[in-house]
Amino acid sequence: MTAVNVEPGRCGENWDSCPHLTTGETFDFACAGCGDCCRKRRDLVLSGYDLYRIARRLRLSPRIVASAFCKSYVADTTCLPALRLTPDPKTGDCRFFEGSACAIHAARPLACALYPLGQSIDTVTARMEYYVQTPLCGARAGKRTLQDYLNDAAIPDREGIDARWAIVCTQLSQKLQAAGGQNNPHFSAAAKRTERALYYDYSLGDEFYPQFYQNIEILMPLLDRML
């Protein structure tokens, strides 16, 4: 399976051996609000939609949010530009963790909304799979299913965008790698232009998806000319 993973881990966790769940399976979990998943986090990788939602919540442009709260980098394996939400350098906690709550709760990134789940998206079929951290944090919730949990976290509302994001990122990665990746003399300019299309060229007054679609329609032939 060609898959893109959303891994919401804390430092030191290993998600490779976590059990997978289907949506109809019992998921006996209720968040206890301890805040541990916001402390000592690995840097969270954001999608363009994550950044757009945070930017709307903060009423700042995506680029300003990225420069204030994120680190931009090119992933070695995919050659794709990406953004990580960086933790507080002194505490290691997320910088949106205020008191004992998330200051951007309604706009929290997908990885946070999923926690303690991880998500894997098949980039051919767009099928999603979920896996769960063990040992499980929180309280036991009785007979609820994974689908109940996903509904409460509003994950289905964004699944279409998240699946499309994973598929487009895979296509872009393949294009950049086929052109020689970072060995291509024009890679740096191409990566910057790709970063713009994925993360920054969005008006907060308009819906995300049509802008994403248009950005990629413009980007793909442009990359063919640049590389």
Interacting residues with ligand SF4 (CB under 6 A): 31-38, 41, 94, 96-97, 102, 104, 108-109, 112, 115-116, 137-138
Rounded CA-CA distance 221/218 in Å is: 6
Q: How far from the centroid of its chain's Cα atoms is residue 87's Cα?
A: 16
Q: Is the CB of 9 or the CB of 81 nearer to ligand SF4?
A: 9
Indicate if the alpha-carbon torsion angle 12, 15, 17, 21 is positive or negative: positive
Q: Is the CB of 69 or the CB of 187 nearer to ligand SF4?
A: 69
Q: What angle, 0 to 180 degrees and rounded to 10, lies between the N-to-C axes of helices 48-58 and 62-69?
A: 100
Rounded to a whole number of angstroms, the minimum distance from the CB of residue 58 to ligand SF4 is 12
Total residue count of the chain as it appears in this document = 227
- 151, containing H or E segment: helix 146-152
Instruction: Give me the phi and psi of 91, to 5 degrees please.
Output: -100, -25
Classify residue 126 as exposed, middle or buried by CB count within 10 Å of its CB (0-12, 13-18, 19+).
middle
Rounded to a whole number of angstroms, the minimum distance from the CB of residue 87 to ligand SF4 is 8
Rounded to a whole number of angstroms, the minimum distance from the CB of residue 57 to ligand SF4 is 10
The residue type of 203 is S
Rounded to a whole number of angstroms, the minimum distance from the CB of residue 79 to ligand SF4 is 27
Rounded to a whole number of angstroms, the minimum distance from the CB of residue 13 to ligand SF4 is 11
Q: Is the CB of 74 or the CB of 94 nearer to ligand SF4?
A: 94
Q: Is the CB of 72 or the CB of 177 nearer to ligand SF4?
A: 72
Q: Is the CB of 4 or the CB of 104 nearer to ligand SF4?
A: 104
